Amino acid sequence: MGKFTFVETAIPGVLVVEPTVFGDARGYFMETFEAEAFAQAGITGPFVQDNQSKSSKGVLRGLHFQVRHTQAKLVRVVRGEVFDVAVDCRPGSGTFGKWVGVILSEENKKQLYVPQGFAHGFLVLSEEAEFTYKCSDYYDPSAEGGIPWDDPTVGVQWPDPGCPLKLSPKDAEHESFAAQDFSFFERWTPECSF
């Protein structure tokens, strides 16, 4: 039995990672990352920064990207449950403007790998959630970008958290997907050879 199962989503390159969990009456053990196994699945990193956030029910963070120092992310939930979303922003990609979403929770222990060239966000469905993620480049506040969570061109179907959504002022003001020039993501388009 392998340590991880890598499951393709509807967008090639965006992977759900399912760890092998060893449990008994004392609790459980699992590996959450191993460079060699991930590289065999096409996730080569390197990862240079780990982040963690805590959010309450109804908090929606996203949809975020960086225009420079673009980041691949390996995301997971260590407490609670979220609906996690990746949006393809790579011009020329066959899935440009498409999105995938997956439930990540402390119970299912799944992770989502979001490559460079994607916007990312999540909605908290539990009373609280602690969210942790690895990044392939450093956070650069001068390079922040985003897409509105409810952008009609993208059309993410967010689940109902059972309470009003809580957005940051910044996340409520992103320019529409259709109005943005995503040429800074061209190098991550699958058809590109550079």
Two structure tokens written together for 162: 């059972």
- Residues 6+ positions from 55 with CB-CB distance below 8 Å: 61, 124, 128, 129, 131
Please report, for residues 18, 43, 130, 132, 168, the alpha-carbon distance to residue 147 in angstroms, rounded to integers and kept in the order given.
28, 25, 23, 21, 13
* 63 neighbors 147 (Cβ within 8 angstroms): yes
In the chain the beta strands, taken as DSSP E runs, fall at 4-8, 15-19, 22-24, 27-29, 49-56, 60-66, 73-79, 81-88, 99-105, 111-114, 118-124, 128-135, 144-146
* 125 neighbors 81 (Cβ within 8 angstroms): yes
The DSSP letter of residue 38 is H
Which residues are marked as active site?
A: 64, 133
Residues in the chain: 194
